[in-house]
C-alpha cells in the first residue's frame, strides 16, 4: 500500500537522493503543450491510467487473433496527422496479459501544483542505480517548497514531484490526496488549472515500424473492438 506523511526524518535521506539513487522507475510525468480545437494549453502527461479499476477494457478482436488496422495519431499534442496502423489483436488495458501492440499507457490532465504552507514529511520511493532495488526514504519539505504535477493514483492517494528549495532537489512522492485540499497545509499556485480536461491514450508500436497514438475511446470504436471485462482486481478478460 502506498504510504504517506510518516513521522521521523533522517537527514541522510537527502544525501541518498542526490548520490546513489534514481527515480527513473517511478510514475513519470511531464508538462506538455496540447492543441485542442485551436487552443494551446499546458497539460500534464503521465505514463499510466489512474483509478482503482482503470477503464475501459478494450477487446480488439481477441476471438479472431492476428491483427487489425486502426487509425492512429502521429502526436497526441497536435491532432489531425493520422495514419493507418496495423496492431496485434488482444486486450488493451494496463492489466492485460494478452498479446497486443502497446508501448505505453498515457493520461493527460490539467496541471495541479501547490506551495507548502508548513514544514511536513513525505515518503519517496528511490531506486538503486546499480541494482534497481526500491527503497522508501522520508524527505522533509519546508514552507514555500513546491509540490507540482499532482496526479491521482488510486485508493485516495496521489503522486507528484516535490521541488525542494534552495537547491531545487526533486523527488517523486506519494501522499493522501486529501492533504492537498487542506488550506492550512497547501496553497494552489497561480499556474494550477481547475478545468476537467482528461484524456487517456495508448502509445502503439505499429507493425509497419512506426509509433502512433490512439485515444482509448477511439480504439474502443474501431472495427472489431468491443468493451472487455474486469474479472477482479488486476485481472481483465475479453468481451462476453
**Separation CA 12–CA 138 (nearest Å):** 9
pLDDT in tens, 65-82: 999 999 999 999 999 999
What is the reported pLDDT for 186? 96
Give the pLDDT band of residue 33 (cuts 50, 70, 90).
Answer: very high
The residue extents of the domains of the chain are 30-109+198-228
Q: Which residues contact 49 (CB under 8 A, 6 or more apart)?
A: 94, 105, 107, 200
Average confidence (pLDDT) over 18-35 = 61
What is the reported pLDDT for 71? 98
- Nearest CA to 95 out of 65, 153, 53, 158 is that of 53
Give the pLDDT band of residue 8 (cuts 50, 70, 90).
Answer: very low
Copy the grid coordinates of residue 146.
513546491
pLDDT in tens, 192-226: 999 999 999 999 999 999 999 999 999 999 999 99
- Nearest CA to 115 out of 160, 172, 50 is that of 160
Give pTM, 2 decimals: 0.84
Q: Quick count: other Cβ atoms within 10 Å of Cβ 65?
A: 10
Contact indicator for 31, 52 with CB cutoff of 8 Å: no
What is the reported pLDDT for 11? 25
Q: What is the average pLDDT score of the chain?
A: 87
**Separation CA 81–CA 2 (nearest Å):** 39
Amino acid at each position: 500500500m502506498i504510504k504517506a506523511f510518516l513521522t521521523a526524518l533522517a537527514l541522510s535521506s537527502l544525501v541518498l537522493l542526490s548520490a546513489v539513487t534514481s527515480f527513473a522507475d517511478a510514475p513519470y510525468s511531464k508538462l506538455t503543450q496540447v492543441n485542442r480545437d485551436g487552443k494551446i494549453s499546458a497539460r500534464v502527461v503521465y505514463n499510466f491510467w489512474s483509478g482503482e479499476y482503470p477503464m475501459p477494457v478494450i477487446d480488439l478482436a481477441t476471438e479472431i487473433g492476428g491483427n487489425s488496422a486502426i487509425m492512429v495519431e502521429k502526436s497526441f499534442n497536435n491532432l489531425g496527422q493520422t495514419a493507418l496502423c496495423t496492431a496485434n489483436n488482444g486486450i488493451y488495458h494496463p492489466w492485460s496479459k494478452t498479446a497486443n501492440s502497446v508501448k505505453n499507457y498515457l493520461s493527460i490532465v490539467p496541471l495541479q501544483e501547490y506551495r507548502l504552507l508548513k514544514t511536513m514529511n513525505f515518503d519517496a520511493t528511490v531506486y538503486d542505480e546499480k541494482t534497481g532495488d526500491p527503497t522508501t526514504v522520508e524527505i522533509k519539505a519546508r514552507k514555500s517548497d513546491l509540490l507540482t504535477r499532482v496526479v491521482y493514483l488510486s485508493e485516495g492517494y496521489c503522486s507528484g514531484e516535490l521541488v525542494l528549495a534552495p537547491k531545487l532537489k526533486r523527488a517523486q512522492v506519494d501522499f493522501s490526496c486529501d492533504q492537498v485540499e487542506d488550506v492550512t497545509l497547501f496553497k494552489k499556485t497561480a499556474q494550477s488549472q481547475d478545468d476537467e480536461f482528461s484524456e487517456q491514450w495508448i502509445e502503439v508500436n505499429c507493425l509497419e515500424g512506426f509509433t502512433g497514438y490512439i485515444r482509448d475511446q477511439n480504439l474502443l470504436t474501431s472495427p472489431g473492438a468491443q468493451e472487455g471485462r474486469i474479472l477482479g482486481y488486476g485481472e481483465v478478460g475479453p468481451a462476453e
